[in-house]
């Protein structure tokens, strides 16, 4: 399955054995729980990861327990000696105050369905030491209570609670239940600070009468470590929100999201609670969804039986997901109105648009019996409908639908997830209420890699590739597996280039965790548009109004969200880094080199220093010796390209990443570019290893093998991929590519590749060519064809390595061209001194005389200083030898 669920907690394994052992030790026998296992269930998952659960013994007594996620130990919190049904529960961080919502069981012993008029009681218990039990409220409606930093409940008038329950137990006999009582779900607010206990605890009370209050409870220590409530007769409280129809609690981040209806418009609001402050209304955002004020829905307020999961279609599904990058997603599924298709929407507020997906359900006979489940997976949102589909939506890059994965059908892929109601918690935690299991969810790398091999459609390959690369554990292993897949499917994609997408996406994900703004500044895909439809999925994209921030100072997540919103408002549509500037600069430097004009040496030296840093970091990435013979030469052109890219990318990030140190940005740039070069090296290493090539193949005395043909093809595809994106190549790439080209291609194909820029002639490759090949007719033809295509500066050096009339002819031509470049014809005597020449060939003698006169001038000698053994005499001899060869004499 694309989603892997690893159980962090299981009631059957982590709690039940200990309860049976404790019951046996008390003499009650392990059978106490055998017939009451149905009563054992999870009530709440606290911010620190501890899990509160409840169960009943054979007498109906209600027990509260806590599983410590760090010590993996269970702790008994409290016991109510009365047959009550627990609706919700929370404990403060210090485990001194327990808040619980209870309802009397029916005579038949089954759970009360909590219809209006049910007898409900919301209590706060001092459990360390065992002391007072206090009632928060009693009204004719339901109430949920969420503890913030710690919690306490107010005892309303008309209720009597015993002041000193014995030994942590309370029989409930002295409590008078009114005819209609308020049901309370309490949640303690827990701060991040885990040092000294706070003197004040905070408790949220959520009422079905559509208001939320916060109680402030001060506690004091008595008798050593004992903690009791101070001034319990009067607890300060304040109204947090009212007139809402939906609310969601984020335990990890201590945030309350709720929806108000204003003139038939749904307005999403968020309140942030702090340990050292009170709370702030952070933003308001309009939602284009249909919520009725007659309904009432709560998310993540603990376990509740008020919603019948079998009748999900009567209620819309709504939830809010965030992550550390500053994303804000609202997922919404309306009431089901068709058995043939189902629709859901995702509001990407951090991107400024929403997407509405309509998924075909297949046969109309396949009725939907469960509701849509939305799960937060950090960079992805999973949308799951049991037996029908499983979608992985990319929330970081939702612009292109091909970056999301859509799995459909009633098969093992979809059916492996639990079919019961799942609750998505912070930190990719998922709670299965039915089984009492807490899972840690992440993407299943093994399944995704296997799916990558089996995928036949381009959009599936694109989506899975990005899913795999987002898994940041053991990236070297993942990259090796992807490279292996690319080498086997190099031409399998028609909508995008596999090598391009791999290099761009992998280098992006390697640096993305450094700062959340990288998705705005660096390209994350080689694909700019995607128009191909995905079978079974209909998609509508719409712009949405951005959230209105209600605060003026931001930190943490809110700073990143605000940055995302500002980017949507004011940034250019395409602010991603592009190599277009580097392309112009590089061509300018190459052109200056050919003309002999070069800008200041300091500028060029700085560019080459940048390249040296990148190459050093590249070599440090791979400590073991590489099989591929790269880094064997000073590839100045590629080094200039690498250095220019460092300079331009650093300037780009400095312009947009305000507040980030210059040194850190420079390090990020070096990491990014060296990563791109390293990926190319990894592809070559994989090909080299796969075909078992020798580390050094620079020899021309035998024909190429099939393995060398395959590697040459891979290198050509790499060159095509990097050329269109104008990405640098590791030094030595062109040399190795040319050597393989000479060995693999017929002469006419080789020259065609050279003339069209596919093969670039380097000094190292041509030098090896001149030394290795003999002077047979075939080799001479090859050498001459190569030499005449060399750049002048390289050609002058190479010609001197080939002791051949053809080489002498080329050297002579270049020498004459330089001498006559600025030559102005002067009057000369018509009488030629024949005694100076060995051959009576007047045209040649006349021309040689002109060259001799030019060479005799001091200006010419200075201009051509260093070209030993090349003079008029050498030109004459070369001309005669060449004529002889042409005439076949």
The per-residue pLDDT for range 439-468, each reduced to its tens digit, is 998 888 998 999 999 998 999 999 999 999
With 0-12 / 13-18 / 19 or more C-beta atoms within 10 angstroms meaning exposed / middle / buried, residue 467 is: buried
- Return the higher-pLDDT residue of 207 and 268: 268
How high is the pLDDT of residue 252?
85
How high is the pLDDT of residue 185?
43
Q: Which residues have CB under 8 Å from 682's CB, separation 6+?
A: 479, 480, 483
Question: What are phi and psi for residue 74, nearest 5 degrees?
Answer: -100, 145
Report, as an integer, the average pLDDT of 534-557: 91
Can you give the length of the chain in residues? 889
Q: What percent of the chain has pLDDT over 90?
A: 28
Banded pLDDT at 819 (limits 50, 70, 90): low
Whole-angstrom distance, CA of residue 69 vs CA of residue 440: 13
Half-sphere exposure of 532 (CA within 13 A, CB side): 14
Of the candidates 470, 467, 564, the residue with the CA atom closest to the CA atom of residue 517? 564
How high is the pLDDT of residue 697?
60
104 pairs with which residues across the strands? 84
Whole-angstrom distance, CA of residue 76 vs CA of residue 65: 4
191-248 pLDDT, tens per residue? 554 545 556 777 787 877 788 888 787 777 776 666 777 776 777 888 998 888 899 9
Whole-angstrom distance, CA of residue 510 vs CA of residue 553: 31
The mean of the pLDDT values for the chain is 78
The residue with tokens 């919603």 is 307
Angle of CA points 333, 334, 337, to nearest 5°: 125
Report, as an integer, the average pLDDT of 841-845: 60
Banded pLDDT at 341 (limits 50, 70, 90): confident
Q: The tokens of 503 are what?
A: 């290099």
Q: Are 121 and 156 in contact (CB under 8 A)?
A: no
The residue with tokens 């269930």 is 41
Q: In 3-state terms, what secondary structure has residue 306?
A: coil
Q: Are 28 and 439 in contact (CB under 8 A)?
A: no
Report, as an integer, the average pLDDT of 93-121: 61
Of the candidates 763, 758, 686, 756, the residue with the CA atom closest to the CA atom of residue 731? 763
Q: In 3-state terms, what secondary structure has residue 97?
A: strand
Q: What's the count of helices (H) and strands (E) in the chain, helices before strands?
A: 23, 34
Banded pLDDT at 389 (limits 50, 70, 90): confident
Q: What percent of the chain has pLDDT over 70?
A: 71
Whole-angstrom distance, CA of residue 76 vs CA of residue 15: 11
Report, as an integer, the average pLDDT of 777-801: 74
> Do strands 84-91 and 97-104 pair parallel, antiparallel, or not at all (unpaired)?
antiparallel
Report, as an integer, the average pLDDT of 670-696: 90
Report, as an integer, the average pLDDT of 538-552: 93
Banded pLDDT at 843 (limits 50, 70, 90): low
* Lowest mean per-residue pLDDT among 87-91, 127-131, 736-740: 127-131
In terms of pTM, does the model score above 0.85? no
Banded pLDDT at 526 (limits 50, 70, 90): very high
Whole-angstrom distance, CA of residue 820 vs CA of residue 214: 95
Instruction: Inform me whether the pLDDT recorded for 887 exceeds 80.
Output: no
Instruction: Inform me whether the pLDDT recorded for 807 exceeds 50.
Output: yes
The residue with tokens 């001309």 is 879
How high is the pLDDT of residue 398?
93
- Return the higher-pLDDT residue of 338 and 636: 636
Whole-angstrom distance, CA of residue 667 vs CA of residue 644: 15
Which span out of 21-25, 320-324, 593-597, 859-863 was modeled with the highest average pLDDT?
320-324
227 pairs with which residues across the strands? 221
Q: Directed axis angle between helix 662-690 and helix 498-511, to 10°?
A: 140
Cβ count within 10 A of residue 56: 22
Banded pLDDT at 786 (limits 50, 70, 90): confident
Report, as an integer, the average pLDDT of 706-722: 93
Report, as an integer, the average pLDDT of 399-424: 77
How high is the pLDDT of residue 468?
94
Instruction: Inform me whether the pLDDT recorded for 311 exceeds 60.
Output: no
Cα-based distances in Å from 604 to 374, 592, 618: 54, 12, 21
Banded pLDDT at 863 (limits 50, 70, 90): very low
How high is the pLDDT of residue 647?
94
847-859 pLDDT, tens per residue? 666 667 666 664 5
How high is the pLDDT of residue 179?
23
Whole-angstrom distance, CA of residue 292 vs CA of residue 266: 9
Cβ count within 10 A of residue 260: 19
Q: What is the largest CA-CA distance in the chain?
A: 141
Q: Which residues of 490-522 are buried (b: 16+ CB within 10 A; e: fewer)?
A: beebeebbbbbbbbbbbbbbbebebbbbbbbbb
Dihedral angle sign, alpha carbons of residues 475, 479, 482, 484: negative
41-100 pLDDT, tens per residue? 888 888 888 899 988 887 888 889 999 988 999 998 888 887 777 777 888 877 888 887
Whole-angstrom distance, CA of residue 179 vs CA of residue 750: 95
Instruction: Inform me whether the pLDDT recorded for 167 exceeds 50.
Output: no
Cβ count within 10 A of residue 862: 8
The residue with tokens 């028609």 is 494
- Return the higher-pLDDT residue of 540 and 590: 540
- Return the higher-pLDDT residue of 871 and 506: 506
Q: The tokens of 559 are what?
A: 């700073």
Which span out of 113-122, 629-638, 826-835 was modeled with the highest average pLDDT?
629-638
How high is the pLDDT of residue 575?
72
Whole-angstrom distance, CA of residue 645 vs CA of residue 579: 7
């Amino acid at each position: 399955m694309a989603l892997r669920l690893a159980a962090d907690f299981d009631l059957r394994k982590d709690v039940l054995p200990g309860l049976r052992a404790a019951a046996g030790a008390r003499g009650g026998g392990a059978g106490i729980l055998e017939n009451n296992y149905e009563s054992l269930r999870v009530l709440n998952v606290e911010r620190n990861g501890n899990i509160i659960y409840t169960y009943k013994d054979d007498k109906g007594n209600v027990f509260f327990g806590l599983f410590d996620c760090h010590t993996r130990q269970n702790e008994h919190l409290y016991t109510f000696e009365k047959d009550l049904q627990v609706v919700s529960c929370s404990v403060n961080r210090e485990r001194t105050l327990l808040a619980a919502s209870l309802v009397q069981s029916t005579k038949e012993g089954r759970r009360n369905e909590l219809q209006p008029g049910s007898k409900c009681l919301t209590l706060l218990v001092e459990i360390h030491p065992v002391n007072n039990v206090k009632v928060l409220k009693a009204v004719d409606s339901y109430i949920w209570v969420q503890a913030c930093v710690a919690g306490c409940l107010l005892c309303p008038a008309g209720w009597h609670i015993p002041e000193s329950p014995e030994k942590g137990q309370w029989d409930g006999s002295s409590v008078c239940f009114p005819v209609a009582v308020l049901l309370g779900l309490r949640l303690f607010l827990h701060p991040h600070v885990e040092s000294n206990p706070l003197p004040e605890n905070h408790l949220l009370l959520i009422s079905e009468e559509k208001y939320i209050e916060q109680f402030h409870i001060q506690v004091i220590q008595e008798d050593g470590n004992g903690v009791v409530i101070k001034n319990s007769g009067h607890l300060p409280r304040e109204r947090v929100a009212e007139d809402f129809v939906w609310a969601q609690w984020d335990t990890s981040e201590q945030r309350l999201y709720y929806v108000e209806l204003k003139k038939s418009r749904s307005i999403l609001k968020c309140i942030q609670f702090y340990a050292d402050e009170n709370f702030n209304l952070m933003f308001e955002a309009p939602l284009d969804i249909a919520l009725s004020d007659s309904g009432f829905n709560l998310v993540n307020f603990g376990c509740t039986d008020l919603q019948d999961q079998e009748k999900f279609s009567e209620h819309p599904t709504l939830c809010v997901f965030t992550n550390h990058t500053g994303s804000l997603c609202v997922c919404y599924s309306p009431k089901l109105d068709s058995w043939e298709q189902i629709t859901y929407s995702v509001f990407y507020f951090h991107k400024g648009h929403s997407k509405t997906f309509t998924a075909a359900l297949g046969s109309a006979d396949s009725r939907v019996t469960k509701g849509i489940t939305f799960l937060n997976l950090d960079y992805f949102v999973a949308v799951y409908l049991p037996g029908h589909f499983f979608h992985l939506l990319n929330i970081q890059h939702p612009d292109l639908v091909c970056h999301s994965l859509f799995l459909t059908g009633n098969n093992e892929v979809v059916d492996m997830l639990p079919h019961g109601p799942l609750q998505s918690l912070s930190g990719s935690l998922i709670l299965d209420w039915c089984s009492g299991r807490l899972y840690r969810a992440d993407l299943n790398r093994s399944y995704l890699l296997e799916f990558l091999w089996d995928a036949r459609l381009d959009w599936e390959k694109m989506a899975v590739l990005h899913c795999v690369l987002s898994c940041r554990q053991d990236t070297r292993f993942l990259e090796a597996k992807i490279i292996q897949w690319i080498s086997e499917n190099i031409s399998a994609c028609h909508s995008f280039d596999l090598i391009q997408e791999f290099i761009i996406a992998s280098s992006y994900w390697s640096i993305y965790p450094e700062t959340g703004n990288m998705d705005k500044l660096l390209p994350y895909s080689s694909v700019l548009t995607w128009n191909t439809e995905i079978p079974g999925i209909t998609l509508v994209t719409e712009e949405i109004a951005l959230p209105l921030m209600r605060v003026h100072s931001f930190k943490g997540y809110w700073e990143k969200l605000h940055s995302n919103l500002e980017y949507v408002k004011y940034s250019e549509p395409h602010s991603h880094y592009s190599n277009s500037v580097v392309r112009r600069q590089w061509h300018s430097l190459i052109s200056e080199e050919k003309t002999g004009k070069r800008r200041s040496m300091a500028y060029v030296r700085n560019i080459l220093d940048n390249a040296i840093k990148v190459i050093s970091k590249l070599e440090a990435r791979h400590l073991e010796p590489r099989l591929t013979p790269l880094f064997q030469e000073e590839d100045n052109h590629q080094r200039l390209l690498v250095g220019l890219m460092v300079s331009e990318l650093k300037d780009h990030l400095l312009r947009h990443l305000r507040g980030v140190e210059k040194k850190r940005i420079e390090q990020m740039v070096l990491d990014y570019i060296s990563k791109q070069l390293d990926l190319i090296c990894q592809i070559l290493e994989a090909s080299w290893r796969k075909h078992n090539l020798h580390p050094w193949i620079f020899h021309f005395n035998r024909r190429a093998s099939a393995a060398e043909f395959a590697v040459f093809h891979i290198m050509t595809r790499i060159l095509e991929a990097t050329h269109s994106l104008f990405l640098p190549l590791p030094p030595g790439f062109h040399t190795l590519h040319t050597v393989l080209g000479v060995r693999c291609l017929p002469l006419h194909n080789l020259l065609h590749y050279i003339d069209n820029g596919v093969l670039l002639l380097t000094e190292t490759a041509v030098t090896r060519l001149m030394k290795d090949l003999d002077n047979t007719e075939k080799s001479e033809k090859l050498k001459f064809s190569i030499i005449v295509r060399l750049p002048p500066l390289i050609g002058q050096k190479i010609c001197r390595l080939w002791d051949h009339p053809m080489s002498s002819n080329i050297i002579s031509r270049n020498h004459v061209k330089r001498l006559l470049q600025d030559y102005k014809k002067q009057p000369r005597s018509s009488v030629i001194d024949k005694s100076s020449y060995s051959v009576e060939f007047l045209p040649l003698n006349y021309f040689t005389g002109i060259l001799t006169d030019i060479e005799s001038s001091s200006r010419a000698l200075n201009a051509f200083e260093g070209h030993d053994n090349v003079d008029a005499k050498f030109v004459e001899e070369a001309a005669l030898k060449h004529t002889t060869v042409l005439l076949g004499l």
